[in-house]
Amino acid sequence: MDDTEAQCGLRERKKRATRRALHDAALQLALERGLEHLTVEEISAAADVSVRTFFNYFSSKEQAILGDNIFAVDEEQVAALMSDAADVLDGLYGVAMALAAATAPRREQVLMRWQLMERYPALLPQVFARLEEFEKVLASAVAARTGTAPDDAYPQLMAAVAGTGMRTAVRRWTAGHGDHPLEHHMNEVFGLLRDGLAPYGPRGPSGPREASKAG
Amino acid sequence: MDDTEAQCGLRERKKRATRRALHDAALQLALERGLEHLTVEEISAAADVSVRTFFNYFSSKEQAILGDNIFAVDEEQVAALMSDAADVLDGLYGVAMALAAATAPRREQVLMRWQLMERYPALLPQVFARLEEFEKVLASAVAARTGTAPDDAYPQLMAAVAGTGMRTAVRRWTAGHGDHPLEHHMNEVFGLLRDGLAPYGPRGPSGPREASKAG
DNA sequence: GTGAAACTTTGCAGATCGTGCAATAATAGG
DNA sequence: CCTATTATTGCACGATCTGCAAAGTTTCAC
């Protein structure tokens, strides 16, 4: 049960192999036959395990298709990137680039998964649930970086906006079938954020000007 | 089948009553007993209809709990608000305020629903799916307002950020049990957005971040 | 190697979900 | 009152997901 076993043990290897087999089968079959007419039974059969075993690994076929680690940046990495950055937005930009870099090695797989998501709204829930978790991590990091409380408006909004920005970039990357690298879309998005979302400026005097609190 | 009947017909009234009875029962029972141990059968029984009839109205208990029109601003209203506004962000701010206003009359109910959402992640999917639709409407409006294409980065990002901002505001409103009006949180969020998300500037000696272009 | 402990796989029963279908009941409109 | 339309309901069916206990596999100490 220690970390040594986690790497070399036969038991652990078999578990990982099974999990991977289920994930691969699910992804493959979903692409081939479509999500609606795909059953857990078929996935299990393709991976050579019982249906019951499938549910020992994944709680639904959607989970099996998406697998883990959609937002493959862990808490410590985020914290490190945030504290090294020149300002908050740069820190979040760093996280975005780390995400893009982590995605690169399995580019085709990730692209497939996101294209499936666009096609089958049933998958969106899972994605958003993870994005939610991811945003919590970002919010904590932003709060730590700025000395604000994690339940202040600023870190929450900043994290939500950054998460949404990354989601937008990935979506545009997917829509373009990955023609441009993900980094390109991240740059585009964070460039706009850096410019205050205001390339189309005010026509005249306007709305709420002050953040009701800032520090 | 004409509009007259839609208002006075007995049939239409009964349908609405049934739908409302199911929604109310679902909300009530979810609050009382929790979502996990609540079955469609119980909801149907509480509303005095068969289970089959339940599924004629809602496709799942989650749908029944949330009901319709979480983001109760329709396409034309958004378009009107956007074209009247001084700039894009002001337009989106107007949409946010319209949303808050639409929420006000059924304040308690809406608050209950969002609190349930915080408690039961199973409800999030539905919400995000609707937010997704809402953001599409926003993106179209932003594109129309700025003369950009709907699949350009700017309208997509702007819509996503605004949608996320409204979500953040509602979440904060919910977390505070509605102590402050929803408008207050919308103001806070859009104030931060207006300020370019940069109340916490660079650590270095440089001044406030500015939009590198505006026009 | 042997045996016990720990863990995984599996089948089975059962609750719930969600849909298609056809019979029944209620309403609308002449 | 009669007919067309539409809503409700029961039934059957396949799929999802969980708990439980039996059977098989891996680990580890001796």
A195/B188 CB distance under 8 A: no
Picking from A187, A185, A84, A95, the residue whose alpha carbon sits closest to that of residue A135 is A95
**pLDDT, tens digit, for every residue of B29-57?**
999 999 989 999 999 999 999 999 999 99
Length of chain B: 215
**pLDDT, tens digit, for every residue of B142-173?**
999 999 999 999 999 999 999 999 999 999 99
pLDDT at position A25 over 50: yes
pLDDT band at B65 (very low <50, low <70, confident <90, very high): very high
pLDDT at B124: 80
CB B176, CB B186: distance < 8 Å: no
Written as six digits, the tokens of B85 are: 């506004």
Which among A164, A171, A189 is the top mutation candidate for probing chain B, defined by the most B β-carbons within 10 Å of its own β-carbon?
A164
pLDDT band at B28 (very low <50, low <70, confident <90, very high): very high
CA distance B93 to chain A (A): 8
Of B66 and B122, the one with more pLDDT: B66
A210 CA – C26 C1', rounded, Å: 60
Written as six digits, the tokens of B159 are: 């819509």
Nucleotide nearest to B54 (CA to C1'): D8
- Percentage of chain A with pLDDT > 90? 64
- Rounded to 10 degrees, what is the CA torsion of B132, B105, A156, B75? 30
Which residues interact with strand C by a CB < 7 Å criterion? A 1, 11, 14-15, 18, 48-53, 56-57; B 1-2, 5, 9-12, 14, 38-41, 52, 55, 59-61
Of A47 and B201, the one with more pLDDT: A47
Interface of B with A in 157-186 (CB under 8 A): 157-158, 160-161, 163-165, 167-168, 171-172, 175, 184-185
B58 CA – D9 C1', rounded, Å: 16
pLDDT at position A190 over 60: yes
pLDDT band at B212 (very low <50, low <70, confident <90, very high): very low
Pairwise CA distance, residues A124 & A114, whole Å = 10
CB A139, CB A156: distance < 8 Å: yes
